[in-house]
Amino acid sequence: MHSPLSLLALGLAAALPAIAANAGSIVEVGDTKVSAMMMFVGNSEKVYILDKAEGNNEQVNGHPAWGSVWDIASNQATVMDVKTNVFCASGMHLPNGSYVTFGGNGAITKGGNIGSELNPDGVSAAFDQTYQDFDGRKAIRVLNPCTNSDNFDSAQCQWFDDPSVLSMQKNRWYSAAEPLGDGRIAIIGGFVNGGYVNRNWPNTDPATEGGAAEPTYEFYPSNGEQAQVMQFMIDTSGLNSYAHTFLLKSGKMFVQANISTMIWEPETNQETRLPDMPGGVARVYPASGATAMLPLTPANNYNPTILFCGGSDLPDEAWGNYSWPFVNTWEHPASTDCQRITPEPEDGSSPVYVQDDDMLEGRTMGQFIILPTGKLLVVNGGKNGTAGYADRTLVTLTYGEMPFGMSLASDPALTPAEYDPTAAQGKRWSNSGFQTSNIPRLYHSSAILLPDASVMIAGGNPNVDVNTTAPFPTTYTAEIFYPSYFSATTRPQPQGIPSTLSYGGSSFDITVPTSSYSGSANDAADNTHVAVIRPGWTTHAMNMGQRYLQLNSTYTVNSDGSITLHCSQMPPNANIFQPGPAMVFVVVNGIPSNGTFVTVGSGNIETQPTSDAAALPANVRFDSASGSADGSSTGNNTSNAGGSNTGAIIGGVVGAVVVLGIIGALVGICLSRRRRAANRQDTNLPSAMAGKNSYAMSNAPSGSFATTQAGMGYAVAGAGAGAGAGAGGVGRDEMRGLRSSDSSAFLPVEQGYSGNGAGNGGYNPYSAGGNASREWGASSTNLVPQDHEPYRDSPQMNHQFYPTRENGMSMDGLDPYSDASRMRAGTPTGRRGY
Ligand SMILES: [Cu+2]
């Protein structure tokens, strides 16, 4: 029990969440309870964290946890249950403020071994009795962010994770995800079952790798179309997973993988090739360069430019195959190279890569965080090697000889650096005043912008299962990096930020009180901008969906020194900044306010309504007005980057503000809702799923590879090692022998099981034609017939492939899109299990 004194202390802590922080510092703040492979900021209070299914000490519902929710104000994590193995999924926001994650890996058990209940293919598992994880390769998991005012034990605040109700057409591990202008999400490519790179060697079947690669794309929500082959995925075979994808102004998508680049038309599947990446530097996993879209501003007419920094220029053969790299990656320095490209130049020129300033140090797995100032922070990663893990390479034959355990990277890059996209060339990078971290953040680390404009850094786990004694151990400690503007003691406290932003339409006013700044009001007004930032979904050195847009604005300086900002809505083109949640920061003299959550667009997945942008009034100045904040502490100049490392900020004062009403706005703007199909049949599937093929899969180099390698200047083993890698058969013993690359299993699984499905009109997640996504907004019926529910607790499913689960994998009472679901405010009737 708490004593009265401790209660008082807690009360004070809640009232004064003072976070004194030095600018440029990195502070260890707490335990994420699961290793933060993936994170996203759900709202002003919570960061959601996902790990792969592994043996974390923290338990939830009788099994190791691989999900948690982080309270920003208290730096405390609470475990959450996730049913399926979310190992290396992709993720994205939805227009209503919910978040969704796609795919993952099959069920695994200790040591990354295949789970106990095999799928019919015999090489992947549906479930594991020890870790109690389900096959997550097709999973679509939905989360509606909650706050402390909600009941986190309610289903409405938990992950909806039931592939029998909601899943993709294809198994996808390391897929890309990027929203279109209507809020639908394109899900692109991926492995079927995992591996180091997405190819066999020799690479004789670049399209499907004998069933191990998934070269298609599909949409969520589906409109009923089948997954289509994307030729670019075949042409970039091997280094084509977690492709870098950015929706462009035209509605076409920039896609970069391997060293290739294209513009893709999502509606017609037409591809237009752009130049290759200069210098042969790969930026996708496992080269894992830092990538971001530069801030979209009135000055660049909101036309995207993409920045790539770091990665690896390993020669093609060195990347190896599904099993492991063919060189000792950790001996190869990561790239310092940066390139920019404007994919759709508006001056009629052809898109070209333009050399940018080199990073201060090479990085693989560095990641960009766009700050409210419009500068880009790069954090995490290593100076040598690549992402991924393995227990050997082609030339290092045993785990005992691996110098960094399973890590394929070495020499962690521990000092953040900042890139100013508007600075003169040659002067864009700085790490002046930035502290060096004590915590390596290599493979499976993450970072994201928080609402108080600090940066949360977490994760790091280049290990197949939890390993706290490895050279780079499984890491649970989170850090916060405080950018240079934390030297200010006073932050702007803007008033009047709306809860929604439309695409075009009437302008709105934001007031900056005189207490928010110091010095000349006119100067402050000239040095103020409004930034709409989507921090994205972070995993694998990426922030999927991260975008920064500066609103068009003018100002009126009032006689009392307050400044009224006249702001345009978002540009009237949803491709520029797709619909969904974002934070609004007002930046005065280089000092950002805290971010306020808004919903951009209608909240629905639909063609977004647009209207012409209203004209803004002209600037009005008032010469004698000035701010009333402490003049030395509010950032009197805009060159805050790399500035003083002194001073402190009470960062939590405004950061702890709960934006009442926003949550209601988020959940109140409902997704299209539908009722569940009233009728439900139960069929007994597994007998119909007996048909399966096996694969002959060559995942070892041929003897001739050694000859090829000699020309590359890499020390490689000869044919003997190649033979040792073995041709991956489908025998379970062989499979276990090969498990230790970045996957519990990387043997192909056939998509096209014959049998159940078409014959009875039912849904079969293993059928080639099965479209398990449900349509959105086009029908009042559930497009996923409930006749196949491998995760239900129904007696029919009580068999070896689809075991029941006491804590309720079945969520019959919880259709995330029903009128009675958590997606609808005020009617929380979802429940877990029966
Ligand atoms: Cu991964």
Poorest-pLDDT segment among 12-21, 230-239, 365-374, 473-482: 12-21
**pLDDT over threshold 80, residue 695:** no
Mean pLDDT of 148-153: 92
Question: What is the domain extent for residue 642?
Answer: 487-668
Q: What is the pLDDT of residue 155?
A: 85
* Antiparallel, parallel or unpaired: β 563-567 and 518-520: unpaired
Better-predicted residue by pLDDT, 652 or 307: 307
* Antiparallel, parallel or unpaired: β 59-60 and 63-64: antiparallel
Better-predicted residue by pLDDT, 148 or 665: 148
pLDDT band at 682; cut points 50, 70, 90:
very low
Whether residue 392 is contained in a domain is answered as no
Whether residue 631 is contained in a domain is answered as yes
Q: What is the pLDDT of residue 156?
A: 85
The proportion of the chain whose per-residue pLDDT surpasses 90, expressed as a percent, equals 70
- Cβ-Cβ contacts under 8 Å for 224 (sequence gap 6 or more): 771, 775, 783
In the reported structure, the alpha carbon of residue 444 is separated from the centroid of ligand 1 by a whole-number distance in angstroms of 6
Whether residue 126 is contained in a domain is answered as no
pLDDT band at 694; cut points 50, 70, 90:
very low
Amino acid occupying residue 61 = N
In the reported structure, the alpha carbon of residue 239 is separated from the centroid of ligand 1 by a whole-number distance in angstroms of 14
Whether residue 519 is contained in a domain is answered as yes
* pLDDT, tens digit, 9 for 90 and up, residues 272-294: 999 999 999 999 999 999 999 99
CA 38 vs. chain centroid, Å, equals 6
Q: What is the pLDDT of residue 162?
A: 84
Q: How many helices (H) and strands (E) does the chain have?
A: 8, 50
**pLDDT over threshold 70, residue 585:** yes
Whether residue 491 is contained in a domain is answered as yes
In the reported structure, the alpha carbon of residue 783 is separated from the centroid of ligand 1 by a whole-number distance in angstroms of 32
Mean pLDDT of 525-551: 98
In the reported structure, the alpha carbon of residue 255 is separated from the centroid of ligand 1 by a whole-number distance in angstroms of 20
Mean pLDDT of 427-441: 98
**pLDDT over threshold 90, residue 719:** no
Better-predicted residue by pLDDT, 770 or 307: 307
Can you tell me the distance from the alpha carbon of 7 to that of 26, in angstroms, rounded to the nearest whole number?
Answer: 30
Whether residue 542 is contained in a domain is answered as yes
Residue found under tokens 């058969």: 729
Can you tell me the distance from the alpha carbon of 71 to that of 48, in angstroms, rounded to the nearest whole number?
Answer: 9
In the reported structure, the alpha carbon of residue 386 is separated from the centroid of ligand 1 by a whole-number distance in angstroms of 12
The number of C-alpha atoms within 13 Å of 384 and in the hemisphere containing its C-beta is 13
Phi, psi (rounded to 5 degrees) for 562: -70, 155
In the reported structure, the alpha carbon of residue 124 is separated from the centroid of ligand 1 by a whole-number distance in angstroms of 17
pLDDT band at 631; cut points 50, 70, 90:
low
In the reported structure, the alpha carbon of residue 445 is separated from the centroid of ligand 1 by a whole-number distance in angstroms of 9
Q: What is the pLDDT of residue 720?
A: 30
In the reported structure, the alpha carbon of residue 260 is separated from the centroid of ligand 1 by a whole-number distance in angstroms of 22
Mean pLDDT of 363-367: 98
Poorest-pLDDT segment among 174-188, 200-214, 770-784: 770-784
* pLDDT, tens digit, 9 for 90 and up, residues 730-739: 233 333 333 3
In the reported structure, the alpha carbon of residue 373 is separated from the centroid of ligand 1 by a whole-number distance in angstroms of 31
Among the listed residues 831, 484, 784, 480, the one whose alpha carbon sits nearest the alpha carbon of residue 648? 484
**pLDDT over threshold 80, residue 67:** yes
Before 286, cis peptide (omega within 30)? yes
* pLDDT, tens digit, 9 for 90 and up, residues 315-333: 999 999 999 999 999 999 9
3-state class (DSSP) for residue 390: coil
**pLDDT over threshold 70, residue 143:** yes
Whether residue 181 is contained in a domain is answered as no
Better-predicted residue by pLDDT, 19 or 818: 19
Mean pLDDT of 37-50: 98
Better-predicted residue by pLDDT, 177 or 788: 177
Among the listed residues 106, 98, 99, 101, the one whose alpha carbon sits nearest the alpha carbon of residue 90? 101
Residue found under tokens 């109140």: 668
Q: Which two tokens stand for residue 357?
A: 């300033």
Q: What is the pLDDT of residue 635?
A: 54
In the reported structure, the alpha carbon of residue 742 is separated from the centroid of ligand 1 by a whole-number distance in angstroms of 7
**pLDDT over threshold 90, residue 146:** yes
In the reported structure, the alpha carbon of residue 148 is separated from the centroid of ligand 1 by a whole-number distance in angstroms of 31
Mean pLDDT of 609-637: 86
**pLDDT over threshold 90, residue 660:** no
Amino acid occupying residue 809 = M
C-alpha pair distances (Å), 419 with each of 307, 342, 703: 11, 18, 45
Q: What is the pLDDT of residue 461?
A: 98
* pLDDT, tens digit, 9 for 90 and up, residues 763-816: 223 222 333 333 222 222 222 223 323 222 233 333 233 232 222 222 333 344
Q: Report which DSSP code applies to 804.
A: -
Mean pLDDT of the chain: 79
Q: What is the pLDDT of residue 164?
A: 78
In the reported structure, the alpha carbon of residue 89 is separated from the centroid of ligand 1 by a whole-number distance in angstroms of 8
Rounded to two decimals, the pTM is 0.80
**pLDDT over threshold 60, residue 728:** no
* Total tally of structural domains belonging to the chain: 1
Q: What is the pLDDT of residue 756?
A: 27
Among the listed residues 463, 459, 491, the one whose alpha carbon sits nearest the alpha carbon of residue 476? 459
In the reported structure, the alpha carbon of residue 41 is separated from the centroid of ligand 1 by a whole-number distance in angstroms of 20
Amino acid occupying residue 143 = L
Whether residue 92 is contained in a domain is answered as no
Mean pLDDT of 439-465: 98
Can you tell me the distance from the alpha carbon of 490 to that of 516, in angstroms, rounded to the nearest whole number?
Answer: 7
Q: What is the pLDDT of residue 633?
A: 59
Better-predicted residue by pLDDT, 660 or 410: 410
In the reported structure, the alpha carbon of residue 540 is separated from the centroid of ligand 1 by a whole-number distance in angstroms of 6
In the reported structure, the alpha carbon of residue 196 is separated from the centroid of ligand 1 by a whole-number distance in angstroms of 9
Question: Alpha-carbon torsion 815, 817, 822, 827, what sign?
Answer: negative
pLDDT band at 163; cut points 50, 70, 90:
confident
In the reported structure, the alpha carbon of residue 49 is separated from the centroid of ligand 1 by a whole-number distance in angstroms of 15
* pLDDT, tens digit, 9 for 90 and up, residues 638-657: 433 333 332 333 333 233 33
Q: What is the pLDDT of residue 205?
A: 97
Q: The domain that contains 602 carries what CATH number? A: 2.60.40.10
In the reported structure, the alpha carbon of residue 88 is separated from the centroid of ligand 1 by a whole-number distance in angstroms of 4
Q: What is the pLDDT of residue 21?
A: 80
